[in-house]
Amino acid sequence: MGIIPDYVGVSAFGIKLGVIVPGTDLVDMVFQALTKCDHDGLLDDADTVCITESVVARAQDNFVTVSEIAEDVAHKLNLKPDSTLGVVFPILSRNRFSLILKGLAAAVPQGKVIVQLSFPNDEVGNQLLPPDVVEVLGYNTNQIEVQALKGQKFSHPITGVDYMELYQEIIREQAKDVEIIICNDPLRITEYPVDAVVVANVHARNRTMQKISTTKVPCITLQDICNNRGNKAWSEWGLLGSNMSSGDRLKLAPREADELADLVQQQVAEKMNKKVEVIVYGDGAYCDPSTGIYELADPQPAFGLTAGLRGKYREGLKYKYMVDVMWEDGFELTEIANTLESRKKEKQAVNSIETEGTTPRKVEDLIASLADLISGSADAGTPLILVKNFMNA
């Protein structure tokens, strides 16, 4: 162990890096930062090195323009300038969806875009309509008629944005006509004369796609757009996990992030003789208890990781239960401590009483979420996070 005392458990540190721009050798930059950590005794075997996806994508110059999105959508859905395009279940976000919507609308400049929104919230908890309005207009139904809103404006309780109004404005700047539907049944869009549909939700996209695919309407997901290998900018995630950049550019999720994680791991092993795991992380899987917003707008918390993390689950003993039982049975404190230490090294059955309440969770999701909380969505200037004692906790 380095400078961290043995009595410290899981810990995470934000590590500052220099300015990262397209073309930056990010593997070398990360390695140089880890060299400093190693010199100061902060790097150990079994540590996890976490790199935020945004700097990976920026170093890759993984940006697309609105016109490139429009071109790809039109090609893949065989759209004509006057076609009608359906967009189903987009999340309510300026950063995550406004430029995507602009690109979709630009694919049908003489046509129409019909946007179907879910209610009362989008997929990640952003509120479209207040609960009292839904109780009056949408109780026990999958649909609310826009006309029933009687022109009322409903702003997001946190951002103050009226997303129905915003999305209509974006479309009107690019296409000839626009219509909003408020309905939770994805098949509702197919009752309109649409030439094609883009499934825009994130986590339930495959289920939504399967339902719409039972009809004859051509349909793709956001993951199918800007995912063409060989292009200057592309990602296997398509437009999923993308973010607004400068002007009309959108930063895609990093491509082939596993490879970058492997390269960092190899550098550390060869030049420092240490075995670390590496994650390229995005949004943490976190639900804000105050707003109910599920912060995971990325398709998953980790875009890339080394093999030592893949498929692993964090399991553990219910310490407080075991302590209560042993104390009640008359065990001495030293006996309790020794028993806990011994049992911790044993493989526990998932359904055993000793593990009750400790649901196994994917290691990659937990570490990526921890790293995201440390770096912060507002960017704390520490795109590199070093997590210690997690893998051997």
- What are 65-68's contacts with CB under 8 Å, separation 24+? 65/248, 65/249, 65/250, 66/99, 66/102, 66/103, 66/106, 66/248, 66/250, 67/103, 67/106, 67/248, 68/103, 68/226, 68/233
Alpha-helical (H) ranges within the chain are 26-39, 53-59, 66-77, 99-106, 131-137, 163-174, 205-212, 257-272, 319-328, 333-344, 363-375
> What is the spatial distance between Cα 39 and Cα 34, in angstroms, rounded to a whole number?
8
Contacts of residue 336, Cβ cutoff 8 Å, sequence gap at least 6: 322, 323, 326, 327
pLDDT value at 378 more than 60: no
Which residue in 229, 231, 230, 211 sits closest to 221, CA to CA?
211
What's the chain's Rg over C-alpha atoms? Answer: 24
Give the mean pLDDT of 41-56: 95
Do residues 129 and 96 touch, judged by C-beta distance below 8 A? no
Residue percentage of the chain with pLDDT more than 70: 91
> What is the spatial distance between Cα 366 and Cα 86, in angstroms, rounded to a whole number?
36
Q: What share of the chain is helix, strand, coil (3-state, %, to 5)?
A: 35, 15, 45
pLDDT value at 356 more than 90: no
177, two tokens: 């006509």
140, two tokens: 């026990």
Contacts of residue 191, Cβ cutoff 8 Å, sequence gap at least 6: none
Mean of pLDDT over the chain: 90
pLDDT value at 118 more than 80: yes
Would you state the pLDDT for residue 328? 78
Kindly state the DSSP code that residue 48 receives in the 8-state scheme: E
Would you state the pLDDT for residue 316? 58
Give the mean pLDDT of 353-382: 76
Q: Is the dihedral of CA 14, 16, 22, 24 positive or negative?
A: negative
Give the mean pLDDT of 41-48: 94
Would you state the pLDDT for residue 85? 98
Name the more confident of 273 and 381.
273
Would you state the pLDDT for residue 352? 47
Distance of CA 238 to the CA centre of its chain: 13
> What is the spatial distance between Cα 245 and Cα 65, in angstroms, rounded to a whole number?
10
Do residues 192 and 183 touch, judged by C-beta distance below 8 A? no
| Span 189-233, pLDDT tens digits | 999 999 999 999 999 999 999 999 999 899 999 999 999 998 999
> What is the spatial distance between Cα 274 and Cα 49, in angstroms, rounded to a whole number?
12
Q: Where does the pLDDT of residue 355 fall: very low under 50, low under 70, confident under 90, or very high at 90 and above?
A: very low
180, two tokens: 């909003």
> What is the spatial distance between Cα 358 and Cα 345, in angstroms, rounded to a whole number?
16
Helix 99-106 × helix 163-174 angle, to 10°: 40
Would you state the pLDDT for residue 351? 45
| Span 227-280, pLDDT tens digits | 999 899 999 999 999 999 888 999 999 999 999 999 999 999 999 999 999 999
